[in-house]
Amino acid sequence: MSQRPDPPNHCRRCGTCCRKGGPALHHADLPLLRDTIILREALYTLRVGEPVHDQVKGQVVLLDAECVKVRSKESAVDSSAKSEPGCRFYLPDPSPAAQASEWASGRCAIHENKPQECAALKCWDTAGLAEAAATPRLSRLDILGPDNALAELVRDHETHCSVADLLRHLQAPTPESADLLRQAAAYDAALRDLLQAKAGIPPDHLPFLLGRPLPEVIHGLRRWLARNGDHSKKDMV
């Protein structure tokens, strides 16, 4: 039986961290967006109240602050497209020898300008990542700027499609809850169509501007409630 390598004490470009998905962006990463190293079509937004896996805590939590992340290749607009899962900037080594290896190497397309979390991540010592993750994250309004016309649409969408409202109706439904959830989903879908048809917003910008489509958000909340059961109320943030 082959012996596994010793635990790493330096980056060996195995790509394990990159294949787990893209990083969240923090205020220190704003120059990467201003300099168009990272474009908006490479991003998606997780909104306040959505359940996410916290890498540092190792558990699923409800977001208490908006989180803009680099999209994975598997979350491309064309979901039928086949691609290597993981961060969209990860470029696996295409050589047959690398593909056959358990420890296949790769590289980052923006390695010299990588986001703060990527720079801090060391798989053999997570203290740096925990410190970076604790710094303020970028929001959509931070990226858009206060004078951007789309900022008001983002605020309006939050008013009509608040994740906290969705969770409340799923957690303690009233006779009106089903209709209100349908209305919120219809508003979300109509706004996405309107932004493309009237404002010329490319479809791959919508995950950043509006987050995930509401049916996906609701599905995620239902799964979180099913896992948490009676403990869900006290776990809300």
Q: What is the pLDDT of residue 93?
A: 74
Extents of the domains making up the chain: 16-235
Q: What is the pLDDT of residue 231?
A: 47
Q: What is the mean pLDDT of the chain?
A: 85
Residue 170 has pLDDT above 80, yes or no: yes
Residue 53: how many other CB atoms lie within 10 Å: 11
For the segment 24-47, the average pLDDT, to the nearest whole number, is 96
Task: Band the pLDDT of 84: cuts 50, 70, 90.
Answer: low
Q: What is the pLDDT of residues 180-232, one digit of tens each?
A: 999 999 999 999 999 999 999 999 999 999 999 999 999 999 999 998 865 44
Task: Band the pLDDT of 100: cuts 50, 70, 90.
Answer: low
Residue 237 has pLDDT above 60, yes or no: no
Q: What is the pLDDT of residues 6-35, one digit of tens each?
A: 666 777 777 888 888 899 999 999 999 999
Proportion of the chain above pLDDT 70, given as a percent:
83
Which amino acid, one-letter code, is at 179? D
Q: What is the pLDDT of residues 108-164, one digit of tens each?
A: 999 999 999 999 988 888 888 889 988 999 999 999 987 898 999 999 999 999 999
Instruction: Tell me the CA distances in angstroms from 41 to 108, 142, 148, 207, 227, one per residue in order.
Output: 18, 16, 17, 8, 32
Cβ–Cβ < 8 Å for 24, 137:
yes
Measuring CA to CA, which residue among 58, 44, 66, 48 is closest to residue 236? Answer: 48
Q: What is the pLDDT of residue 15?
A: 81
